[in-house]
Chains A and B, each alone.
Chain A
């Protein structure tokens, strides 16, 4: 008898404990005393109504769905190399092959200058940043339309989808970085303290891509044209950024124009961190940071605003 009571008390405690510690639900949680007042604990409730056009992102809700974020990210990573003969090897092969093509065309055939380091090393460093950017942008821009089934049948914070694509990019980046270190070691190029700033450049590049991705994935729900625009745009950015060539090799009168591309200074900065070459220019880095913040703000606002009609339009 005493045991039974003990268990009961314990259960009640857990229930109460959970209701206090775990935020009950997403959205605008409020509490309300029950009418008769017999229950000491007020009941939690949530209102479902039309949200304002300018509603803000609720980080608590995203946090609640962190498991979903993780599971979706893992799904994408797992799916990429299912039923492929070489499987995970492609993670290593892909960046090597694309950098190899660049090294052959620009380094070997066209003899593009490379700030005094072997061309392969030079362009691989640039690719590292660009791949993080383009990977995030292309994946996140397609994520809503690609998961239309989920959107129209189940609720979760839609923001989870574009955010989950960042994981895949980070895995690619980690592999690329490891390769980079191998290449640097082979080329006998030492690393300095500057490498500590590398994460900052990557975060900025991914941030820029997420901002653009948020906007494009939301807009793509209505305008499927964007799925054809993005690859072309990325191709354009690939050549409009100092990846195949160093900034120092660009004609002086064009440099300002090139720097207007917020990726440019990040690419230069990345090579500065890894190879110790290239010029890092304070004002242009600041410009890039501003661009990243603006793109994230616009992207998030547009996403929140368009999100309300995803299920009806998709």
Chain B
């Protein structure tokens, strides 16, 4: 059995959120308050538990991914572990020196040169000058900034800056390394390099605690995972199970209805429900056989008006991939009477959709005249894609676009192909 590297027992951390900004009150007020209430005034303060009774062990040489949504307590856990802040109760026992990397370039000073910053940053991260001198060439090599060593880092490009900062941190040699979401910086090439370096660190027998929202990085790097949820441990186990647990917890708990996501609405229009493919939920799994999106919107009108559905599909970067407007195609927007309405449109999807995550936005508009309701990113579509003969769907993120183009069926094309082959 392996030795334990970190053992966390009943760890809790509370923050006091004051509704009166006690933290920034002036000295004079503080003195007056003390005089008026010598025993302290806790009335307006509220306690927020960032971590609540967290317990788990990490074995030596293990890479553990810590996952959870924003505010689940991941960063607080790392802060307590790296001794930046104290726990409110509970205890962590660490076997060995803990090096932490919560931010790339902490303590870098813009006015100092690259060389000076290597020594400064190294010392701040806990290296001795001898260690830094020994690693100096490796750091410079890794960061690829040799030419600019004696230039103040304020003149560095942001890429160079980040590379240098990560290089220093990557050459830290603690027994236990604590890493927050620092790999989210730099270009793809550099990120690959960072991940490689992290793997080397782990292979060297060191224990790593790694926080990230990038499930790909977590799965490729970690052996086990801890899922935090509202300051408590929701799951501990193998990394695949942990990622799955995190994902499923996410969809069940936090999937809003489409109608709740309406961004703008005219007072004359009152929306009661919106369904896409019979589902009122924001998230929509689209199987490979699905070839249409049925959008239906129900509600009440307080006046007669003309309106119809417009919809568009974007990718996660808000790049519009396709647009649907029945009124534009037909040239007329249909008339709706005052009272309840139920408007339905079916959108034909391309026959060969590529796999990926898309967003469907929708509007009710009097085409080219005015808009009544808008709901951007109303539905998150997770498309399974069209499996090819090889059994694998092409994906949008793989650079293959929104859909595959069909082959045109025209007899003379085939004939020409035949002759070309013959001659």
Chain A residues engaging chain B, CB cutoff 8 angstroms: 24-25, 34, 36, 43-51, 65, 67-68, 70-72, 75, 78-79, 82-83, 149-156, 219, 222-226, 308, 311-313
Contacts and interface: CB of A to CB of B under 8 A. Distances in A.
Which 9 pairs across A and B sit closest by C-beta, in order of nearness? A71-B123, A155-B83, A48-B92, A223-B27, A311-B85, A153-B106, A68-B123, A49-B91, A45-B95
Interface in B84-101: 84-98, 100
B116 interface: yes
A48 B100 contact: no
Given A48-B86, A79-B112, A224-B24, 11 more contacts: A44-B95, A44-B96, A45-B96, A48-B92, A49-B90, A49-B92, A78-B112, A152-B84, A155-B84, A222-B23, A312-B85
Tell me whether chain A's interface is mostly helix, strand or loop, or mixed: mixed
Contact of B116 (A36, A46, A67, A78): A78
A156 to B, nearest CB: 7
Contacts of B98: 155
B108 to A, nearest CB: 9
A47 B93 contact: yes
Interface string B107-128: 1010110001001100111111
B218 interface: no
B78 to A, nearest CB: 10
A226 B123 contact: no
A68 B84 contact: no
Contact of B80 (A48, A78, A156, A222): A48
Contacts of B23: 222, 313
Contacts of A70: 123, 129
Contacts of A154: 82, 84, 100, 102, 106-107, 124-125
A83 B111 contact: yes
B107 A25 contact: no
A121 B151 CA distance: 42
Interface in B24-71: 24, 26-28, 30
Contact of B119 (A36, A71, A150): A71
A43 B80 CA distance: 22
B217 to A, nearest CB: 21
29 contacts: A25-B97, A36-B1, A44-B96, A46-B94, A47-B92, A48-B80, A48-B87, A48-B91, A49-B87, A50-B88, A67-B129, A68-B123, A71-B119, A71-B123, A71-B124, A72-B120, A72-B123, A75-B112, A78-B116, A83-B111, A153-B103, A154-B82, A154-B102, A154-B124, A223-B27, A223-B30, A224-B24, A225-B26, A311-B79
Given A67-B129, A153-B103, A223 B87 contact: no
Interface residues of B, number: 48
B81 A48 contact: yes
Interface string B320-337: 000000000000000000
A225 B27 contact: yes
B27 A226 contact: yes
B57 to A, nearest CB: 13
Contacts of A150: 106-107, 124
Contacts of B84: 151-155, 311
Contacts of B80: 48
A164 to B, nearest CB: 11
A67 B107 contact: no
Contacts of A223: 26-27, 30
A56 B127 CA distance: 25
Contacts of A155: 82-84, 98, 100
Contacts of A222: 23, 30
B121 to A, nearest CB: 9
Nearest to B117: A75
A51 B97 CA distance: 19
Contacts of B414: none
- Residue of B1, B24, B86, B129 with most partner-chain A CB within 10 A: B86
Nearest to B28: A225
Contacts of B82: 154-155
Contacts of A50: 86-89
B328 to A, nearest CB: 53
A312 B94 CA distance: 22
Contact of A43 (B3, B30, B102, B111): B3
Nearest to B7: A45
A75 B118 CA distance: 12
B94 A45 contact: yes
Interface in B381-413: none
Interface in B147-186: 152
Contacts of A311: 79, 84-85
Contacts of B120: 71-72, 75
Given A71-B120, A225-B26, A153 B112 contact: no
A313 to B, nearest CB: 5
A149 B106 CA distance: 7
Nearest to A312: B85
A222 B34 CA distance: 15
Nearest to B27: A223
A222 B27 CA distance: 8
